[in-house]
Amino acid sequence: MPEGHFSQDGRRRLLLVALGRQRVGKTALLNTIVQYFRAAGSEIEVWNADQQNRTHSLSTFFPDASLPPDGGLADTRGWIEGKLKEQAEHGYHAVLDAGGGFTGFSALVEDVPVIEALGARGTDVIGLFCVGPEQADLDYLDSFSKEQLFVPDATMIVMNAGLVLSGRSSGAAFAPIAQNAAFKAAVARGAKVAMFPALTCMAEVTDRGLTFEEAAAGKVKPGQHPMSMFDPTRVREWWTKKVPDFFDTFPPAWLPTARAASAVTAEEGGR
């Protein structure tokens, strides 16, 4: 593979920010992104600014996740600024779980045009607006857009199929969301839409603090009850088929870089 075929790989850093109400799947989405792309060799830092979610926070799954210091919004905002500076200096990708409600991240974007500032320093911001089937789930997208606070060119509206009640079809559940004026306005600006696949036994995996690979292999931690007979199969199907299909709906430039193409082709040649 000649050098330079994929100029964006390794040059543009990505900051993936998950936004949305509480319990719409921000942490589950970022957990999946980090596990998936780290497994492929991407260097991704995990920034966990969600201080309200303890049991299922990113720190449960990634011991190396960075946490803001105890304090108020101004402290969290300052911490995020510091992390952004570090990222620009060291050149890795990062995910930020901003948490729900008015957060340090909201305070930061109200204060400075973050997207433009980071873009000038070589970091592309990817906005992941997580929504369930409730109209109020679009409030974040609506308010961030209306006030022009945080409107990245790379905006992905992630519909969480795991939030659709059992027995309902995804189409029926999410159609009202798709007809929402804020949703359509975002799509008209270039936002893309993806559906995060449901994993019926997600809680069985996350409550045990397992990685998806461990769960797919039927592993549990010492002292934990084994998973039910079919759960590892469910996880395997989800992890190896549905999740790759989900990422396939993203424009490639919006996802963390996997290993350099040359590294992969050399490895293939060595098999």
Partner 1 sequence: MTDTKRVRLVRKKKIRSFGGRGQIYSWLRTHHAAIEPLKAIHLNLWAALAADMVEDGVTEAADGRGLRDRIWKSWQRVCRDVASEAAAARPKRVPPSRISPDWRPTVVPPRPAVPTQQPASSSGAIVPTGRTSLVDPNDSPLVQAEMAKLEGMFHEADKRRLPR
Bridge partner list, 45:
94
Among 119, 149, 170, 220, binds partner 1 (CB under 8 A): 170
Q: Which stretch binds partner 1 (CB under 8 A): 1-9, 48-56, 74-82, 118-126?
A: 1-9
Among 67, 73, 107, 185, binds partner 1 (CB under 8 A): 185
The site for partner 1, by CB under 8 A, has a size of 59
Here the tokens at position 27 are: 């942490």
Bridge partner list, 125:
15
Among 17, 182, 201, 216, binds partner 1 (CB under 8 A): 182
Nearest Cα to Cα of residue 56 among 16, 101, 99, 92: 99
Taking CA atoms, 152 is separated from 19, 40, 44, 126, in Å, by 12, 26, 20, 6
**Contact between 12 and 111 (Cβ < 8 Å):** no
Among 124, 142, 204, 231, binds partner 1 (CB under 8 A): 142
Cα 158 to Cα 146: distance, rounded to the nearest angstrom:
19
Instruction: Check residue 6 for interaction with partner 1 (CB under 8 A).
Output: yes
Among 11, 85, 121, 259, binds partner 1 (CB under 8 A): 259
Instruction: Check residue 149 for interaction with partner 1 (CB under 8 A).
Output: no
CB closer to partner 1 out of 37 and 79: 37
Residue 141 has, within 13 A of its CA and on its CB side, a CA count of 29
Bridge partner list, 93:
44
Instruction: Check residue 171 for interaction with partner 1 (CB under 8 A).
Output: yes
Cα 81 to Cα 229: distance, rounded to the nearest angstrom:
46
**Contact between 156 and 192 (Cβ < 8 Å):** yes
Note the residues at the interface with partner 1 (CB under 8 A).
1-2, 4-9, 37, 40, 135, 138-139, 142, 146, 161, 166-167, 169-171, 174-176, 178-182, 184-185, 187-188, 190-195, 197, 240-241, 244-245, 248-249, 251-253, 258-259, 261, 264-266, 268-271
